Amino acid sequence: MTKRSLGKIFLLSFIFILSALLILSCEKSTETGRDAEKLNKLTEQVEKLTEKVDQLSKQVDEMGRKLEKFSETMAAPQRGGSLVLCVGDEPPGLDPTASASAAIDRVVYANIMEGLIKVDRNGKFVPGLAAKWDVSPDGKVYTFQLRQGVKFHNGEIFNARVARWNLERGAAADTKNAHPEFFRVIEKIETPYDYTLVVTLKDVDALFIVHMAEGDAVMLPMKGYENTAAAPIGTGPFKFAKWTRGDSVGMVRNEKYWNPALPYLDKVTYRFIKDPSAQVAALKAGDVDIIGWLFAPELAADIAIDKRFKVLSGASTSEVIMSTNNKAKPFDNKLVRQAIAYAIDRQTVIDLVMAGYGTVIGSHWPPVTPYYKKMSDRFPFNPQKAKELLAQAGYPSGFEATIKLPAIYPYSQRAGEVIADMLGQIGIKLKIEIVEWGFWLDRIFKQKDFELSMIGHAEAWDIGIYANPNYYFQYDSQEFREAYAKALKAPNEAEKAKWFGRCQEIIAEDAVNGFLFLSPALSAMKVELMNWWENYPTIALDCTEVWWKR
């Protein structure tokens, strides 16, 4: 702080002396009454210099901010205190192994329950309950060395036998897991030692580790897993305390956590507030300490100028797309879809819908996830080109279509309105229909009764949905399926990058959906709250390393 102000003072005195000298010399020249032009030139120079000083002081500011951030990461965390976290959706039960709902993972994952693998703040896969793992050269055998001394909250010991039971439970015929296919790639599981787990896959699966790091693969105790949906037990840094239905889920510090240094907080409460303005009011009134997902990005600037709060805007894994029914006329025509891609000014969509927060995307892959390939330049905003393509497709004067927007997501409705206007410019008249979530799931998702819609796909690594011609947007491409299969069977990193990149290219080129933007991981919190996640590379709101500065 002091360094910053010293720098400013220095710069300001410098400019002051400079201008004094200039004024003196000006006076001389006017005295001689010779050249008024010279004076003008000099004033211009002064202006230029002032601009430069402005720039420099901005840089100094920026450096100061970086310094603050650095000191935050370097400062010794303090223990104790409780945290009240506001999230929008109340989870349907608290068992991530019985539902793929993101709302569940956002409460329990990494807090109450953990899996073998964890995702760190940079999106990298790091040890969770497995201290390390090796893959055989043929890519089929995974050997996990499990952490020793890990206990569940009910006192049960975690070892290879428990891990094996969990993986088998996910693959069982009567499993309730929403993603049994994550586990059914496993051919056999061996437990040669108490803390060694050897998993042999039926075939190479590039996403096996990815899947083991998701909420669907958390480790539950063999005794006492039955009531997970109402009273979850895990190995995590926090123990489940109470679920007040309709209001909050409370958890307390796990004193016997395998990492004795963690967590820092004593108590964490997840409170469910759906209304965007009620969220902000609760933060400002001090009822909650942090809003994990700010539903109203337009209010972020207002919160940020309040000295009591800070706003973090990182990247999430949720791609917001204008889902397009690839079998519905005229959207089955690639030229029409490409015309639409040219007609959408995605930065303006972000500015109008998300108050400028968010990242432009050009394909179905979050920029924070490995193997990302930048496709956002493939269809730059060009209405003229869009009209040409539309004419080429046989619709020189455009056409009419309906866009069905789920009411539960505010961004979806707003983006729908903005895009309806943009498409209107090239002659495509959109009729907007707002539908309720259950209706959306039934009519649009299940029965595929739609032309256009708008939704955020929250999961990372979900590009495989394009390989399924029965998925709701009904994209059917042999080329994509082959590329995806190759990516899944890729034996090394270079091949993975190549084929996952190719997958992103193919769907971008085909303009399967309107790829709009990556939702920002927008959180707002009290300034004293330290070490919150800036990016959300996985679906979790992890409080393990969060602490209060006093």
Partner 1 sequence: MIRYLIKKLITLLILLGLVSITVFAVLFVLPGDPAQIILGINATPESLATLRAELGLDKSFMGQYAHWMGNLLLGQSQQSIHYKMPVYELIRDSLAVTGPLALLAMLFALAISLPFGIYAARHQNQAGDVVVMVCTQLGLATPEFWFGILLTLLFSVQLGWFSAGGFPGWSTDCWGSLKALLLPAFALGVIRASILTRLTRSSMLEVLSEDYVRTARAKGLKERTVVYGHALRNALAPVLTIMGLQLGQLLAGAIIIENVFFLPGLGRLVFNAIGQRDLPVVRDIVLFMAAAVVVVNFLVDIAYAVIDPRIQLE
Q: Are 343 and 383 in contact (CB under 8 A)?
A: yes
Q: Which residue has the tokens 């109203």?
A: 296
User: Is the Cβ of residue 248 or residue 338 nearer to partner 1 in the bound state?
Assistant: 248
Dmax over Cα atoms in the chain, in whole Å? 99
**Residues 350, 360: contact at Cβ < 8 Å?**
yes
Q: Which is nearer to partner 1, 106 or 387 (CB)?
A: 106
Measured between its terminal Cα atoms, the distance across the chain in Å is 19
C-beta separation of 514 from 423 below 8 A = no
Cβ at position 176, least distance to partner 1 in Å: 6
- Measured from the CB atom, the residue of 188 and 274 that comes closer to partner 1 is 274
Q: Which residues bind partner 1 (CB under 8 A)?
A: 90, 92-93, 98-102, 174-181, 229-230, 243-248, 271-275, 277-278, 281-282, 284-287, 408, 436-439, 441-443, 445-446, 459, 462, 465
Nearest residue (CB) to partner 1, 192 versus 246:
246
Closer residue to partner 1, CB minimum distance, 110 or 460: 460
Q: How far is the CB of 284 from partner 1 (least distance, A)?
A: 5
Q: How far is the CB of 8 from partner 1 (least distance, A)?
A: 34
Long-range Cβ contact pairs of 19-25 (< 8 A, separation 24 or more): 19/46, 22/46
Least separation in angstroms between residue 109's CB and partner 1 is: 14
Least separation in angstroms between CB 93 and partner 1: 5
Least distance CB 55 / partner 1 (angstroms): 37
Q: Is the dihedral of CA 60, 63, 64, 65 positive or negative?
A: positive
Taking CA 261 as the corner, what is the angle to CA 258 and CA 267, rounded to the nearest 5 degrees? 90
Q: How far is CA 151 from CA 129, 221, 265, in A?
A: 11, 9, 20
In the bound state with partner 1, the residue whose beta carbon lies nearer, of 137 and 245, is 245
- Other Cβ atoms within 10 Å of 55 Cβ, number: 10
Kindly tell me which of 159 and 177 has the beta carbon lying closer to partner 1. Answer: 177
> Shortest approach of partner 1 to residue 447 CB, angstroms?
9
Scan for tokens 């989870």, then name that residue: 91
b/e per residue 439-475 (b: at least 16 CB within 10 A): ebeeebbeebebbbbbbbbbbbbebbebbeeebbbbb
